């Protein structure tokens, strides 16, 4: 999986997964594109930029987004913008996240069943759409989407 550093230039990608992570400089958000490329943005920047676009960590999945850094008055800012439908490659269709239910400490077999459902959902949505569009992808894309669904389903 390639990591794109925004300091090297802008990138536009179809978002297939979003995950909060802890980086060297604090909380970050990992955006994963349909080609497996990841972009890391600070949690505060990601949240404010997605709010500006009327999106959140769940609704941005399936959207085509443009990421860039700009410098103004000696400071560096991260901009995230939604790319309108029809501009460039089509956006991926978001995976349907399983409904959340409060379950006390699931067993390993229950977790395995949930993960299996997440893999099935990722294949049925993202995998099928990418294949139909002729966009090459590998198991890492499905694994990333399934892991995002699994994390959301088990929180």
Domain presence at residue 56: yes
Mean predicted lDDT score pLDDT of the chain: 84
* The overall pTM is greater than 0.75: no
Residues 67 and 14 in one domain: yes
Residues 23 and 74 in one domain: yes
Residues 20 and 78 in one domain: yes
Domain presence at residue 95: no
Last residue of a domain, one of 65, 82, 99: 82
Tokens for 141? 């894309």
Q: How confident is the model at residue 24 (pLDDT cuts 50, 70, 90)?
A: confident
Domain presence at residue 98: no
Phi, psi of 126 (to 5 degrees): -65, -50
Work out the angle at residue 80's Cα, subtended by the Cα atoms of residues 126 and 19, and round it to the nearest 5 degrees: 50
Residues 68 and 130 in one domain: no
CA–CA separation, 47 vs 97, rounded Å?
Answer: 20
Q: How confident is the model at residue 92 (pLDDT cuts 50, 70, 90)?
A: very low
Other residues' Cβ atoms within 10 Å of the Cβ of residue 82: 18
As for how many domains the chain has, the answer is 2
**Residue for token digits 């909060």?**
20
Residues 77 and 144 in one domain: no
Least confident residue range of 41-45, 60-64, 102-106: 102-106
Tokens for 127? 């995998």
CA–CA separation, 104 vs 84, rounded Å?
Answer: 42
Residues 11 and 66 in one domain: yes
Residues 36 and 75 in one domain: yes
Query: What is the residue range of 150's domain?
Result: 108-154
Domain presence at residue 12: yes
Last residue of a domain, one of 67, 82, 97: 82
- DSSP string for residues in 55-108: --TTTTTT-EEEEEEEEETTEEEEEEEEPPTTSSSPPPPPP-PPPP---SS--H
CA–CA separation, 57 vs 134, rounded Å?
Answer: 26
Domain presence at residue 89: no
Burial of residue 93, with CB atoms counted within 10 A of its CB: 0-12 exposed, 13-18 middle, 19 or more buried? middle
Domain presence at residue 102: no
Domain presence at residue 58: yes
Domain presence at residue 29: yes
């Amino acid at each position: 999986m390639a990591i794109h550093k925004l300091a090297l230039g802008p990138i536009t990608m179809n978002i297939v997964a979003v995950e909060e992570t802890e980086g060297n400089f604090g909380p970050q958000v990992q955006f994963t594109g349909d080609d497996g490329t990841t972009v890391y943005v600070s949690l505060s920047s990601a949240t404010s930029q997605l709010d500006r676009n009327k999106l959140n960590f769940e609704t941005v999945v399936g959207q085509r987004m443009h990421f860039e850094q700009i410098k103004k008055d000696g400071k560096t800012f991260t901009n995230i913008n939604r790319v309108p439908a029809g501009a460039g490659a089509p956006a991926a269709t978001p995976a349907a996240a399983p409904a959340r239910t409060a379950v006390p400490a699931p067993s390993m077999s229950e977790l395995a069943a949930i993960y299996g459902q997440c893999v099935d959902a990722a294949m049925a949505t993202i995998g099928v759409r990418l294949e139909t569009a002729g966009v090459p992808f590998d198991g890492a894309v499905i694994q990333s989407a399934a892991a995002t669904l699994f994390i959301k389903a088990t929180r």
